[in-house]
Every structure is written in structure tokens, then in C-alpha cells.
Amino acid sequence: MRVGLAICYDLRFPELFRNLVERGADLIVVPSAWYAGPHKEDHWLTLLRARAIENTVYVAGVNLIGSAFAGRTSLIDPFGVITATATESVNTVYGRIASARIAQVRQKLPALSHCRKDLYPTGAPKVQAEV
């Protein structure tokens, strides 16, 4: 099992998640300080599920709790199903991550294999550093 890492605001940029999956990530962990507020919890869960669905990968969104934060630490499976979630109190969230589930979802939803990489650049840009 290979794990990728994105943080908080990265959740709003799908390109990073695709890049991590192209590099072999089976699970992407997103530690966050996602603020509470109108529709913020909905954004949090929707974006976690979207990143999981579009990349057919597990996503673990780990968020702070308290009056200023949206909470809802959650594990999302590759089909976008919330398989574990925390309440607003301190919790430990347990979930099962299975390579077989990733393969099953990718067979049913082969979007990754249908990507037209010839139409857009992928990966991190090559940077030449001067020393």
C-alpha cells in the first residue's frame, strides 16, 4: 500500500491528487484545519469524495474539531463511499483499506485508463536549479 500526502487547501486542486495516483498512491491522507462555517462541512465531504471518485483511490481526510473547525474526519473508499467518519468529539476512526477494492472499482469505473494524457500535461514541472 502506497500513501500520498496532501494538506488542507490542496483538497481544492484535483491535479495534485491525480499526480499522486499516477505515482502509485493507493491512499491519500489529507491532514487539515478546515474551518467551520456556512456550507464548509459540505465542501469538506464533497471534495474528499470527489478526489476519491475521480482517482479511484482511498482518501482519508483528517480534520480538527472544535467550534472553529468543521470536524468530520472521514475515510472515503475509491467509489466515494464514506466508510468511516468521526463525530464532533475526540475520536479514533478505524477503517479497512483493501487493494482488492481499488481493483474492483477501477474495473467498474475505468476512468484512469481512459484519460487522454496527450491532451494535457501531467506531472510536476521540471525545474532547473542554479547552484
The answer to whether residue 69 is domain-embedded is yes
The domain tally of the chain equals 1
Q: For the ranges 19-33, 78-92, 100-114, 116-130, which has the lowest average pLDDT?
A: 116-130
Q: What's the CA gap between 80 and 58, in Å, rounded?
A: 8
Ranges assigned E (strand) in the chain: 3-5, 27-32, 58-63, 74-76, 82-85
Q: Specify the pTM.
A: 0.88
With residue 21 as reference, give the H or E element that holds it.
Answer: helix 14-22
Q: Each residue of 75-112: pLDDT tens digit?
A: 999 999 999 999 777 788 899 999 999 999 999 999 99
Q: Which domain does 104 fall in, by range? A: 3-119
pLDDT digits (tens, 9 = 90+) for 35-64: 999 999 999 999 999 999 999 999 999 999
**Is residue 124 a part of any domain in this protein?**
no
| CATH assignment of the domain containing 109 | 3.60.110.10
